[in-house]
């Protein structure tokens, strides 16, 4: 058994844009453009970027909820992009998702007991008579109580609903979880509680996770490694300690400048990026970040930088990388 549970290899996803009287394909949204990474067993990889970076599409491609335009996803040694829907079914139990908006992902007419019961029954987890005890165990695991099993989603706060979403994902003992911006819809005061819960569960259950977020502050304490995405490409990937202490890429530096430092009184110099992320229909030539990069040079519009190894698992895609 290798260390690697997931390998994403040169993944591309272009969505057709249709228009005109004949509804022909007139353009392509280039959401993901040649993304590669791996996730080891027991590792949490953060995937961070602004909206429009393609990070959520990567999460959906990894789970085969979207069909890739090209590239491959290997899960536990099997190329799951090549599987039929029927063959994919046996991997579904092993790969779960925690959604961004827990309220939208829960049926308002179902009590929590039913939500968890459905997950257990759908994936055929243990005999039906074991389900009530398993539901209690899951509630306690996510910091809720057995007494809350008979409540409806609207009777819970946002943070509690996300705990139910986490319990539902854990119900089937998955090998791998995609957490798709699991705290973005929550109040700041509640975000830390849910992140701490995921961090505790990671240690307790040795979870392997792809943790998608739009800012670096969210993933700092839960991820082992972090990949930074911009306009469908990975700009930098590194062990979390390295990325936060020695970022290489100008985009990572800008994202990091918005993250508060733990030392009181010490502030990072804020780097404000001008403008919005360009349209993925017509990304800039050369380095896709060049239109907002404070350090862009002539070469940046001419040549696309490749991810270059800087040692110890640190890679950056910038022409100024030394």
CB of 33 to ligand SF4, least distance (A): 15
Q: Does 296 bind ligand SF4 (CB under 6 A)?
A: yes
Q: Interaction with ligand SF4 in 230-249: which residues (CB under 6 A)?
A: 249
Q: Which stretch binds ligand SF4 (CB under 6 A): 66-74, 164-172, 206-214, 314-322?
A: 314-322
CB of 284 to ligand SF4, least distance (A): 9
Beta bridge partners of 15: 29
Collapsing DSSP to helix, strand or coil, 310 comes out as: strand
8 A C-beta contact, residue 229 and residue 213: no
Residue in 186, 310, 184, 161 with CA at minimum distance from that of residue 249 = 310
Q: What is the CB-side half-sphere exposure of residue 258 using CA atoms within 13 A?
A: 13
Q: Does 300 bind ligand SF4 (CB under 6 A)?
A: yes
Nearer to ligand SF4, 35 or 169 (CB): 35
Binding ligand SF4 (rule: CB under 6 A), the pick from 289, 307, 314, 315 is 289
Binding ligand SF4 (rule: CB under 6 A), the pick from 52, 165, 250, 283 is 250
Helix (H) / strand (E) element for 11: namely: strand 4-19
Q: Does 319 bind ligand SF4 (CB under 6 A)?
A: yes
Binding ligand SF4 (rule: CB under 6 A), the pick from 144, 164, 287, 307 is 287
Q: How far apart are CA 135 and CA 125, in angstroms?
A: 12
CB of 255 to ligand SF4, least distance (A): 12
With CB under 6 A as the rule, give the number of residues binding ligand SF4: 14
Six-digit token pair at 168? 């539902």
Collapsing DSSP to helix, strand or coil, 293 comes out as: coil
Q: Which stretch binds ligand SF4 (CB under 6 A): 24-32, 111-119, 217-225, 312-320?
A: 312-320
Longest dimension (CA), the chain: 68
| Cβ-based neighbours of 221, under 8 Å, separated by 6 or more | 195, 196, 199
Residue in 40, 58, 39 with CA at minimum distance from that of residue 48 = 58
Binding ligand SF4 (rule: CB under 6 A), the pick from 14, 30, 290, 314 is 290
Footprint of ligand SF4 (CB under 6 A): 249-250, 287, 289-290, 293, 295-297, 300, 305, 318-320
């Amino acid at each position: 058994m290798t260390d690697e549970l997931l390998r994403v290899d040169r993944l591309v996803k272009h969505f057709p844009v249709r228009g005109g009287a004949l509804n022909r394909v007139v353009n392509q949204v280039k959401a993901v453009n040649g993304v590669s990474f791996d996730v080891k067993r027991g590792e949490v990889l953060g995937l961070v970027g602004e909206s429009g970076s393609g990070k959520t599409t990567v999460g959906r491609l990894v789970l085969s909820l979207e069909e890739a335009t090209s590239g491959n996803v290997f899960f536990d040694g099997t190329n799951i992009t090549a599987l039929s829907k029927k063959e994919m079914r046996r991997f579904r139990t092993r790969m779960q998702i925690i959604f961004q908006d827990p309220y939208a992902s829960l049926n308002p007419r179902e009590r929590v007991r039913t939500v968890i019961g459905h997950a257990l029954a759908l994936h055929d987890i243990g005999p039906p008579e074991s389900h009530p005890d398993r539901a209690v165990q899951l509630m306690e695991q996510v910091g809720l109580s057995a007494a809350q099993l008979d409540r409806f989603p609207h009777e819970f706060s946002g943070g509690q609903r996300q705990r139910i979403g986490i319990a539902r994902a854990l119900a089937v003992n998955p090998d791998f979880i995609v957490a798709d911006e699991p705290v973005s819809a929550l109040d700041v005061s509640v975000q830390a509680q849910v992140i701490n819960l995921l961090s505790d569960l990671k240690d307790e259950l040795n979870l392997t996770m792809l943790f998608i977020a739009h800012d670096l502050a969210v993933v700092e304490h839960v991820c082992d490694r972090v990949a930074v995405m911009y306009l469908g490409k990975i700009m930098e990937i590194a062990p979390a300690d390295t990325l936060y202490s020695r970022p290489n890429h100008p985009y990572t530096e800008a994202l990091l400048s918005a993250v508060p430092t733990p030392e009181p009184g010490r502030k990072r110099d804020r780097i404000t990026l001008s403008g919005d992320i360009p349209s993925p229909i017509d990304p800039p030539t050369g380095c896709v970040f060049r239109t907002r990069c404070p350090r862009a040079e002539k070469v940046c519009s001419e040549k696309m930088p490749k991810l270059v190894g800087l040692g110890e698992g640190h890679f950056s895609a910038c022409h100024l990388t030394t």
